[in-house]
Amino acid sequence: MRIAVIDGQGGGIGSTVIRKIYEAHGEAFEVWA
């Protein structure tokens, strides 16, 4: 499964979302940022 993370606000929200996805599901997802 692929997940796209689009973060235009700054402040690291996108990286936080990506980190939480990997913590919850491991490498089962391909994240596009």
pLDDT of residue 27: 79
Would you say 3 and 28 are in contact if contact means Cβ atoms under 8 Å apart? no
29: left (phi over 0), alpha (psi -120 to 50) or beta: beta
Domain extents in the chain: 2-32
Interval 1-33: pLDDT, tens: 888 888 777 778 888 888 888 898 887 878 787
State how far the Cα of 24 lies from the Cα of 33, in Å rounded to an integer.
18
- Quick check: 27 and 8 in contact, CB under 8 A? no
